[in-house]
Amino acid sequence: MKNRGRHEAGFGVVTVAMTMLLTAAIVGCGESGPTLYPVIGKVTIDGQPAKEGGVVFHDESNRMRQFVGGISPDGTYKIMHNRELGAPPGKYRVTVFVTDTPMDANGNPTNLPRTLSNQKFMDASNTPLAVEVTDAAPAGSYDLAVTR
């Protein structure tokens, strides 16, 4: 009985050690994520730069994957993924919502934002906006024009 107990204890130590080594190997060899290509564009509404809102890229090959960017006051947006600039290559349906937040003289919000853009640009199933993210997209490829 005593030998069997030592054997089982030794087996447990070996099993724990092997599990730790395998876990370290798997974690150490893991990928950091998909290859990302910069996605920077400008949003206009009725021909004028949007001042605020958001842009969402909906991956056509995997509807669960979405990449988001906020609209800056000059109309530009940047798509981000895990705090990194860009999106993986592929085809995307794009939704855009342009908002306007009423401000007081000091620049503090006085009310909730109101949506300016047409509803059709906010529905991933019906949006007319589509882009393809590539490694060599020409300038303006990711610019988006919406209407009220």
Beta strands 144-146; 40-45: pairing state = parallel
Which of these CATH numbers, 1.10.260, 2.60.40, 3.40.1280, 3.40.50, describes 40-146?
Answer: 2.60.40
Instruction: Please tell me the distance from the alpha carbon of residue 123 to that of residue 37, in angstroms, as a whole number.
Output: 25
Residue 16 pLDDT greater than 60, yes or no: no
pLDDT category of residue 30 using cuts at 50, 70 and 90 = very low
Instruction: Please tell me the distance from the alpha carbon of residue 80 to that of residue 73, in angstroms, as a whole number.
Output: 18
pTM of the full structure: 0.73
Q: Which two tokens stand for residue 42?
A: 């400008």
74-95 pLDDT tens trace: 999 999 988 889 999 999 999 9
Look at residue 1 in the predicted model and tell me its pLDDT. Answer: 54
Look at residue 27 in the predicted model and tell me its pLDDT. Answer: 40
Of 65 and 26, the structure prediction assigns the larger pLDDT to: 65
Look at residue 110 in the predicted model and tell me its pLDDT. Answer: 87
Place of tokens 């529905």: 123
Which distant-in-sequence residues (6+ apart) come within 8 Å of 103 by Cβ? 109, 110
Look at residue 23 in the predicted model and tell me its pLDDT. Answer: 40
Instruction: Name the residue ranges covered by the structural domains of the chain.
Output: 1-30, 40-146
Look at residue 15 in the predicted model and tell me its pLDDT. Answer: 37
